[in-house]
Chains A and B, each alone.
Chain A
Amino acid sequence: MAVMKRTIQIHPNKCMGCHSCELACSFKNEGVFNPIFSRIFVKVDKEFHSPLTCFQCEDAWCDKACTKHAIHRNPYSGALEVDKELCVGCKICTIKCPFGLIVMNQHKQAIKCDLCGGNPECVNACTYGALSYSAYDKSAKEKRDKIFEHLKKSQASLVLQLNDLN
């Protein structure tokens, strides 16, 4: 059965900056511990940290830009994957991605998050709850429920503390 709707969800306020996700990703996919070959990026600004990774766009810039048609959607995981056989390292996808979430690896090929085929290693590595792997419509519903609960509790105030809710 396809589980197409699951994606990696990011909860930045829970991130502690331990870089476990980066390390796990680079080890699983490139066999080495080196954050620059990771497909997930822990952005740091002094004391604020947050992971960022591919959103698996439905109508993807990278896919449309690839002249070799090397980017395909995995029907099982729903992730867009780079076909190593076809990729020639032209870097157009890295230029086209508006989020900057495709990079090149040590073999000069494009690398991007492929959800590890449906069992993302980064999510397994994160113990702080900054990453979760769930269906986005489910998580949207959860958020709605939370907001509703919040409204119920604080009927007087409609100012939502979004940080608390995340």
Chain B
Amino acid sequence: MKYFGYMGKILWVNLTKKKIYEEDLSHSLIHKFVGDFGIGAKFAFDLIDTGIDPLSPENFIIIGAGPLTGTSIPSSSRIHAFSKLPLTGTVGACGGGMGFGAKMKYAGYDHIIITGKSKTPVYLKVDEEPEICDATDLWGKDLFDTTNLLWEKYGPHSGVMAIGPAGENRVKLSLALIDKYSSLGKGGLGAVFGSKNLKAIVAHGHKGVQIADPERYHRLNNEIRKEISQHPVQQGDWEPLLHLMGQTHNMRETCDIETATRKFGPKAYEESVIIGKAACPSCLLGCRDNMKVKDGKYNNLQSYIAGIGGRTILLGLRLGMESVESIVKGTDLIQRYGMDSHALGGILEFAQELYERGYIGEEELNGTPLMGSDQSVLGTLKKIAYREGIGDTLADGAIGIIKKYGSKTEKYSCHIKGLDAQMEPREIKMSPLGFSQVTNPRGGEAKPGMLDPLVFMQKVNRDFVETFCEKAAIPKKTQRKMFNSKNQVNIARLTRHTEDYYVAYSSLGICMRHNITPFYSMSRLADLYSAVTGINMSQTDLKDASERVWNIWKLSNMKNGYCRKDDRFPLRWSKELIDRKGEKTKSIFLRDFYSKDLTNKQPINKFLDDYYSERGWSKKLGVPLSEKLINIDLDQEGQRCKKLNCYKKIRQIMESGNCNPN
């Protein structure tokens, strides 16, 4: 059987039995679930059993690269890893970039599926002869050192996915890094690696990716590249980021933009840090930062990060580090330990508030504050990574903290399904970007909403939204239903389609950063897919497959009891956000894009109802029922859920009433 685009092989690894074997990638899987994200979601549903402990040997790590990965299509390096995540208990789809995907394909594999637990530390070598290798020497080393050592051994061209001490110590805020730059696994994928005694995966190989229709490929690729090169490269802007994630005091206040920009803005960086850029394979927009401190206490410190803007906001504004140099130091530590900076910010601020309110006692802190200065933040980071003192509690994330200090503390947290909300919707108003965090089966993570056309827009007319709808291949009939008599689009309904659109990108392996998506559309993605794989696919087919994938992802979480009660707005969102920007202090409340109030139960429930109805799911339970599943060709999966009594359990959970939404 000849494959185009795909390598046609899945690598199965059982760490307990030290057994490795490969299997052909079946064409029926490809036709139904496309690739990468889609096929990963299907495997997650099939393999990850109901109710297992995420840190037990029974959990799986399912890594997938898309059919376009490894080719020269711009920004086609995204890979996804599915696993049951310890921070949330959800089956999460973790996304990452850099060279691992392409190298994994050159080694001959579309997917790597890992299970079991090794007795001693190991790493996995993926090439023409995959092997489980001893990693006793690497265990305990930080992430950059581990990556360097593996590069020295297997050549600088190999792709390295590794964890740091945080993952080894099963810190639930840990993740894996790819080639030092790209993070993979918000929600504790690092701890899953650690629980399996798996330190790293290194991939390299010499197999090429074949193209079915080179002429068509060449034409499409040139079109996209030409369009990109005619537009100025947009790097992440500083100010919009402040509105999205710059809220301080545990999401109670907006930040002072002027001071923030003076202290930590791009200019401050220019003065103290040399920032070089790096790119993922095939990407034209190099957005990774390679930093070197020019001077001062941390002179010559060099570190690597997927974008320093977000970390500056986190460490500088929210946690109170004092200068850009110390932020580079903090970032360096987070990267070396292998932790998730967004979740860290949320947890530390949450803990700080609990301390201020007297829930966390003075004696627990041992005289060292949690945050507020360089020294305290660096100290706390270390405590969390090594689970020392109070760090042991913080390392269990929001759910762990609430468990320890009582359910009364729940209202101070901003978590959704255990993962701290990444983007704040109060300042920019609720658009699909904010709402997608609520409906994301994985927890409060905003990637599926990144394709939101409304974010940062003050006002939009119907034509503008319709142009997006065309791009995302939303059928005309559905489009009409999404608008009300005032030509306003229904945010909840639009969210469903941004999610499908996100799945289409992710299943092919294309990045969905805001500076890349203007150059793609559903029809272009389908064209590219057809040219590369030789499997004819229309934009409608791709949209349908994406919907199927989202549903099967939801099902694998439904199996674990996740339903409508978990799709909830954090209580903090319904409180005021204090804006001190003007002369007078203002209070901002949560509104939707058209400034309708969203602070009480009724409109929130309406939001969720609309979303479920657009998905064709049960409004009461917030999950797909068998009728819907038959429509989208997931009949068998639905039957399996029935056999496992999932629906019965969920009905009981919803009827018990003690965890009603909001």
Q: Which A residues lie at the B interface, using CB under 8 A?
A: 16-20, 23-24, 26-27, 30-37, 44-47, 49, 124-125, 127-128
Q: Give, as a whole number of angstroms, the nearest-CB distance from B632 to chain A.
A: 33
Within 8 A of A (CB), among B253-284: 276-284
Closest to A32 in B: B208
B286 pairs with A16, CB closer than 8 A: yes
A-B contact pairs, 27 of them (CB 8 A): A16-B279, A16-B286, A17-B278, A18-B279, A18-B280, A18-B281, A18-B284, A18-B286, A19-B282, A20-B282, A20-B284, A23-B71, A23-B282, A24-B72, A27-B71, A27-B72, A27-B214, A32-B208, A32-B211, A33-B72, A34-B207, A36-B206, A46-B151, A47-B180, A47-B290, A127-B225, A127-B284
Tell me if B518 is interfacial: C-beta within 8 Å of chain A. no
Partner of A44, one of B156, B229, B276: B156
CB-CB under 8 A from A47, the residues of chain B are: 180, 276, 278, 290, 302, 304
B208 pairs with A26, CB closer than 8 A: yes
Partner of B209, one of A20, A33, A124: A33
Tell me if B70 is interfacial: C-beta within 8 Å of chain A. yes
Q: What 1/0 mask marks residues of chain B from 93 to 114 whose CB sits below 8 Å from any chain A CB? A: 0000001001000100000000
Q: What 1/0 mask marks residues of chain B from 229 to 250 whose CB sits below 8 Å from any chain A CB? A: 1000100000000000000000
CB-CB under 8 A from A37, the residues of chain B are: 208
Tell me if B228 is interfacial: C-beta within 8 Å of chain A. yes
CB-CB under 8 A from B513, the residues of chain A are: none
Instruction: Tell me the bound Cα distance from A121 to B130 in angstroms.
Output: 34
B209 pairs with A128, CB closer than 8 A: no
Closest to B69 in A: A33
Q: Which B residues lie at the A interface, using CB under 8 A?
A: 70-72, 99, 102, 106, 148, 151, 156-157, 180, 206-211, 214, 218, 225, 228-229, 233, 276-284, 286, 290, 302, 304
B70, B102, B282, B304 interface centre (most CB from chain A within 10 Å): B282
A20 pairs with B286, CB closer than 8 A: no
Q: 7 nearest interchain CB pairs?
A: A34-B208, A32-B208, A23-B72, A18-B279, A16-B279, A16-B286, A44-B156
A17/B208 contact (C-beta < 8 A), A24-B72, A27-B214, A46-B156 known = no
B281 pairs with A44, CB closer than 8 A: no
B157 pairs with A44, CB closer than 8 A: yes
A16/B278 contact (C-beta < 8 A), A24-B72, A27-B72, A127-B284 known = yes
Q: Give, as a whole number of angstroms, the nearest-CB distance from B121 to chain A.
A: 23
B214 pairs with A17, CB closer than 8 A: no
Q: Give, as a whole number of angstroms, the nearest-CB distance from A96 to chain B.
A: 24
Instruction: Tell me the bound Cα distance from A124 to B278 in angstroms.
Output: 19
CB-CB under 8 A from B102, the residues of chain A are: 19
Instruction: Tell me the bound Cα distance from A110 to B244 in angstroms.
Output: 54
Mostly, the A contact residues are mixed
CB-CB under 8 A from A36, the residues of chain B are: 206
A33/B211 contact (C-beta < 8 A), A23-B71, A127-B284 known = yes
B72 pairs with A125, CB closer than 8 A: yes
Instruction: Tell me the bound Cα distance from A16 to B75 in angstroms.
Output: 13
B208, B277, B278 interface centre (most CB from chain A within 10 Å): B208
Instruction: Tell me the bound Cα distance from A35 to B228 in angstroms.
Output: 23
B208 pairs with A33, CB closer than 8 A: yes
A33 pairs with B228, CB closer than 8 A: no
A33 pairs with B286, CB closer than 8 A: no
B211 pairs with A27, CB closer than 8 A: yes
Closest to A47 in B: B290
Instruction: Tell me the bound Cα distance from A17 to B106 in angstroms.
Output: 17
A17, A23, A124, A127 interface centre (most CB from chain B within 10 Å): A17
CB-CB under 8 A from A31, the residues of chain B are: 211, 214
Closest to B207 in A: A34
CB-CB under 8 A from B72, the residues of chain A are: 20, 23-24, 27, 33, 125
B284 pairs with A34, CB closer than 8 A: no
Q: A16-B279, A49-B278, A124-B225 are in contact. List 8 more A-B contacts (CB 8 A).
A: A17-B278, A18-B282, A23-B282, A26-B208, A31-B214, A33-B70, A34-B106, A47-B302
A32 pairs with B206, CB closer than 8 A: no
Q: Give, as a whole number of angstroms, the nearest-CB distance from B15 to chain A.
A: 29
Closest to A128 in B: B286
CB-CB under 8 A from B211, the residues of chain A are: 27, 31-33
B156 pairs with A45, CB closer than 8 A: yes
Instruction: Tell me the bound Cα distance from A117 to B210 in angstroms.
Output: 24
A125 pairs with B156, CB closer than 8 A: no
Q: Give, as a whole number of angstroms, the nearest-CB distance from B317 to chain A.
A: 28
Q: Give, as a whole number of angstroms, the nearest-CB distance from A140 to chain B.
A: 26
CB-CB under 8 A from A128, the residues of chain B are: 279, 284, 286
Q: Give, as a whole number of angstroms, the nearest-CB distance from A103 to chain B.
A: 12
Q: Give, as a whole number of angstroms, the nearest-CB distance from B391 to chain A.
A: 30
A127 pairs with B228, CB closer than 8 A: yes
Q: Give, as a whole number of angstroms, the nearest-CB distance from B350 to chain A.
A: 35
Closest to B206 in A: A36
A16 pairs with B277, CB closer than 8 A: yes
B156 pairs with A34, CB closer than 8 A: no
CB-CB under 8 A from B206, the residues of chain A are: 34, 36
Instruction: Tell me the bound Cα distance from A82 to B233 in angstroms.
Output: 38
Instruction: Tell me the bound Cα distance from A33 to B209 in angstroms.
Output: 5
Instruction: Tell me the bound Cα distance from A129 to B207 in angstroms.
Output: 29
Instruction: Tell me the bound Cα distance from A127 to B206 in angstroms.
Output: 26
Q: Give, as a whole number of angstroms, the nearest-CB distance from B150 to chain A.
A: 11
Instruction: Tell me the bound Cα distance from A19 to B210 in angstroms.
Output: 17
Instruction: Tell me the bound Cα distance from A111 to B147 in angstroms.
Output: 32
CB-CB under 8 A from A20, the residues of chain B are: 72, 281-282, 284
Q: Give, as a whole number of angstroms, the nearest-CB distance from A30 to chain B.
A: 8
Q: Give, as a whole number of angstroms, the nearest-CB distance from B552 to chain A.
A: 30
CB-CB under 8 A from B279, the residues of chain A are: 16-18, 128
Closest to B290 in A: A47
A32/B278 contact (C-beta < 8 A), A23-B71, A127-B228 known = no
CB-CB under 8 A from B284, the residues of chain A are: 18, 20, 127-128
Closest to A126 in B: B284
CB-CB under 8 A from A33, the residues of chain B are: 70-72, 208-211
Instruction: Tell me the bound Cα distance from A17 to B179 in angstroms.
Output: 12
Q: Give, as a whole number of angstroms, the nearest-CB distance from B114 to chain A.
A: 26
Q: Give, as a whole number of angstroms, the nearest-CB distance from A42 to chain B.
A: 9
CB-CB under 8 A from A17, the residues of chain B are: 278-279
Closest to A33 in B: B209
A16, A31, A44 interface centre (most CB from chain B within 10 Å): A16
Instruction: Tell me the bound Cα distance from A13 to B391 in angstroms.
Output: 41
CB-CB under 8 A from A44, the residues of chain B are: 156-157
CB-CB under 8 A from A30, the residues of chain B are: 208
Q: Give, as a whole number of angstroms, the nearest-CB distance from B203 to chain A.
A: 13
Instruction: Tell me the bound Cα distance from A14 to B281 in angstroms.
Output: 15
